[in-house]
Every structure is written in structure tokens, then in C-alpha cells.
A and B are shown apart, each in its own frame.
Chain A
Amino acid sequence: MRRYIIRRILLAIPLLLAISFVCFMFINLIPSNPAEVALRVQQMPVITDAAIAEMEEMLGLNKPFLVRYFDWVIGCLQGDFGISYVNPARTVAGEILRSLPATLELAGASFVIVLVLSIPIGFLCAVYKDGWFDRIMRGTVFVSTAMPPYWVGLLLMWGIGVKLGWLPTNGSGSWRHLILPAFTVALSYISTYIRLIRNNMLENMKQDYVLYANVRGLPQKAIWVKHVLKNSMHTCIVAMGMSIPQLISGTIVVENVFSWPGLGTLCISSIFNRDYPVIQTYVLLIGVLFVVFNLLFDILQTVSDPRLRKED
């Protein structure tokens, strides 16, 4: 088991290096000179060759590509992701750290909503298959999957925020501000997991061990919860784990709709301002999150399944 975990961690290193390399490539694929972009963003009145050369020197752009890449990787490993082009007084790490808590708060709240709603609804849909509850939920899931989050966000703002006046339409600061954006982000995931849990449970109900549990005369609730749900959740663990980085990266549009001061808002404003180091770091951060969560939930699945668990 320990060997498996060490092997998976070692395999993640080249993957992370590949992601960092692709991220770094972005900045070099820009048609214009990054130094010139930086000067324009800082609203330099006259951009001379000397000023560009000076900026290239400052940003280290005059060094060969691979040298710059390794400098950047070493910097990243030490937590130094460079400086913002828009405001050289600010570091990229500082900018990201400033916006990260708000995004984590939103993604965390969305994840809790996803778990709290999708597990019981998926469970009840499977238990009462083809009943009125299952039919209504299947219809709702079908409709909500087809609705894009930014539209749902606007609809909720108009309905619950403006017409009913129950919750604030935008901004942050209290738990009331969190409800609408968190629900908007969670909605499509709830639909996905209701379907996933329902189908997994129905598939598991056909298995021999469920028939044998009935043959042994176990109480129906124990069969559903202890055996069917546990086996079904077991296959959903990885999908749910992978939704955590998806939730963090998926807030980008919703944050802008609700003016939520998180990573998504920072990323969009950086794209408008062509603040490439910030965009590059954001993409790298999301890539790292995907790799780390994939690794974590693979290990968790291996630990929780006795058939996959290997004794040392």
C-alpha cells in the first residue's frame, strides 16, 4: 500500500512539470512582446526601444527560453510566482492569496450543497424508482442540466434578489451573500450526482450480494444504506473528489455574475488587463489542484476498497 502511494506521488511529479511547462509556454505564445504589453498596461506615455529593453531586463525576458522556464519553476517551488504587470509593486502570489479565500468559501459552500442534496435525492430516486418522486426529480435533473450557470445566476438574481428581495443580488460579506452564487455553482453538479448515485444504486441492487442480503433476511433499510449505498458511493468517490477542483475553477463565470471577489474575478480582470503572470499562475494552480485531488481520491478509493488494497 505504502509502495503504491509513493509510486503515485512520484508519477505526479512529471505530470506537474508538464503542466508548468505548458503554462509557461502561454506567455511565450503571445504575439506581442510581453515587455511592451507590460509597459502599455502600466500606461507608459511613449514606449521606446530603450524602455522595452529595460523592461525585458527587469522581467528577465532577455534570457533564453529554457533558462527562464527553470528560473520560473524554481521560483514557483519557493512560492515566488513573479510580479503583476499591472501593478509591479504587487506579487502574483499576493494577488492569488488575496482572492483565494473567497473562492474557497464559495466552492466549499457549493460542495456542501452538492453533497447534502444529491446523496439523499439520488438515494430516494433509486429506492422509489419510477415513482412520482423519481419522475419529478428526473425531469428536474434534465431541465437543470440544460441550463447554463450564468443564466441560472441571472434568473436567481432577478427572482429571489430583485422580485422577492429575500437575498442580496451581489457582493460578499455575509452568509446571505453566499447562498445564490453557491447554489448557482452547485446546480449542475447536483444534477450530475443525482443521476450518478441513482444509476449506481440501481446497478448495485441487481448484484448477487443484494439478493443474498435479502435471502439472509436483513432489514430492508440496512440493505439499502449499509450495502447498496456504500457500494454505490464507493464508485462515486473519485467523481466527487474530482469535482472539488472543478468547483474551484468553475466559479469563474458565476463569480463575475455575482461580483464575488474571488480567483475567477481576478482571472477575468487579468485577461482584460493582459496581466499574463497572473493568468499563468491561475492556470498552473488549477492544474496542480486537479493532479493533487486526482491523486488524493485515487488513494482514498484504494484505501477504502479491500479488493484494491494491497498489504505491505
Chain B
Amino acid sequence: MKPVLELNQLCVSLKGRKKTKDLVKGISFSVAPGECLGILGESGSGKSMTMKAAMGLLDKNFQVSGSAKFQGDELLGKNAEELRKLRGGKVGMVLQNPMTSFDPLYRIGNQISETYAAHNQWDNEEVRERSINMLLKMQIRNPEEVLEKYPHQLSGGMLQRIMIGLATSMTPELLIADEPTTAIDAITQFEILNEFLRIKEEHKVAMIFISHDLNAISRVADRIVVLNQGVVVDQGEFCHIMHQAKDPYTRLLIEKRRDVMRKYRKALEGEVSHCAPAR
């Protein structure tokens, strides 16, 4: 099957006054339609930068080389207008800080409608109707009221859902979720991950899920790529990564996860045995 996104030896470097620093050093991977690829790595490993470089979201100080193909079409070297039409349309993206990702001076309804207007020729009534339907689909109550709210009047979880709803409402071929669960609490995290699972089931969209959280990634990803200091150090299916990881950094991540799970189970069992006599 033809991959939706295919990166081949993608490199990103930052041009300084005296020397150039390599940040992403020849990353290659691909994602097929209906597949969810997890990109795992600690902060600064180049996860987000790789995707920003592919989508033309880095400023002029960064140099990008190699190849990034979307549905067989080379992205690097495309002009700004071509990339703009792709973003928010065929490629949806969800960012990690919902509270700061919306412009504080505009109502949510305005920000949703300007996104729709940038990619479609819908009239005001249709934009409003689609906005309300999108909010309802994302299980947001009182959608008419929410459209009139400013970002600071909504919770992080609600804003994250709106972001996911906006990204998916354009029926994208590729959905990139850049640490979508990092800035939200555990319960909302759970709900947001369910949302991604639903999108994966319903839309059969190719998805790239970027995270440093192995638990979150393990729930949605079919295949995992592990990045460390701008290099792919391991890749494969979740079971393969869990049991046969070659890279010491990946093994450390898995060990930490097992530790957390062990402590969590112990705490649960302790609580049960502690509570038992009282019953």
C-alpha cells in the first residue's frame, strides 16, 4: 500500500552565526493509510521538529534536507501557499498546549470559522452549522454557547477536543498529534486518547502520534519509532519494542514504565488488603 507520508533521510540543522548545529540526523520512516505510527522520545530528541520540518513550519534559521513525501508528492521545496493549503486540509495537526494554542482575543466560533473559510467556500450559515455539528461530535455540551466563549473561558480538555474536532472535520488523509496529552490531567488524557481511538476506527486515517509517554503511545499506536538525539534508535511494533528493544535508551524507557506499573499495582493491592478487614 502506498504510504501517506514517507520521510527519507530527513535532516534539520540550525544555522548559527559561526557554526551549524545538526538537530535531526537522517530520519526515515513511513506511515500507511489507517495506520497509527507512534513517535517516542524524550524532550529535545527531535520528535516535533521532524514533523514541523516536513510540514514547513520551521522558520528561516533552520535548514531542512532529505525527502518528505506526502502521497508521493515531495513536500520539501514546495512554496508557502501550497503547504498552507495542505495544512489544516489534507493534513490535520493537534498541538500539545490547548490553553495557549487559540488566540486569546477572538471567540472560539470566530477561530473555527476562519479555519473553515481558509479551506472552503462555505457561507456563514453553513460554517455555523458545521461548527455546531463538529462540537457535538466531540461531545461538547451547549455548542452554541461554546462558540461565543473566549479560549480562557474553556477548560484545557474542551479546547483539546475542539482542536481534534477541527483537525478531523476537514477529513484529512494524515493526522499528526504532537504530544496531545502532555498538558492535560489524567482523566482528560484518558478521554482524549479514546477520542483518537474513535477517529482511528471511524476515519481510517493515517495517524502520527508524538509523545514521550509510553503508556499513551501504547494505547493508540500500531507501530513505534523511538528517537534519541535526532536519530531513530529503534522501530517496530509495540510488542517488539517492549520485549526486544536493542537501544539502551528504549530499554530505559520500558524499564521506567514497568517500574511505574509495578508500583501502581502494588499500591492498588495494598489498598485492597488494607481495606479488606474494614469490610
Contacts and interface: CB of A to CB of B under 8 A. Distances in A.
**Do these two chains interact?**
yes
B95 A215 contact: yes
Interface residues of A, number: 23
Contacts of B166: 216
A217 B118 contact: yes
B99 to A, nearest CB: 9
B165 interface: no
Given A306-B150, A307-B150, A212 B84 contact: no
Interface in A223-238: 226-227, 230-231, 234
**Chain B, interface size: which category?**
20 to 34
A306 B93 contact: no
A215 B95 CA distance: 9
Interface of B: 55, 57, 80, 84-89, 93, 95, 97, 100-106, 114-115, 118-119, 150, 152, 163, 166
Nearest to B99: A208
A64 B150 CA distance: 58
B89 A306 contact: no
Interface of A is mostly: helix
B87 A215 contact: yes
Contact of B104 (A214, A216, A307): A307
Nearest to B163: A212
A219 to B, nearest CB: 6
Nearest to B150: A306
Given A211-B57, A217-B89, A219-B118, A305 B105 contact: yes
Contacts of B89: 217
Nearest to B55: A215
Given A231-B104, A306-B104, 12 more contacts: A208-B95, A209-B101, A214-B57, A215-B57, A215-B95, A216-B115, A217-B84, A217-B86, A217-B88, A227-B103, A305-B104, A306-B150
A217 B100 contact: no
Interface in A176-223: 207-209, 211-220, 222
Contacts of B57: 211, 214-215
A216 B71 CA distance: 20
B166 to A, nearest CB: 7
A226 B150 CA distance: 16
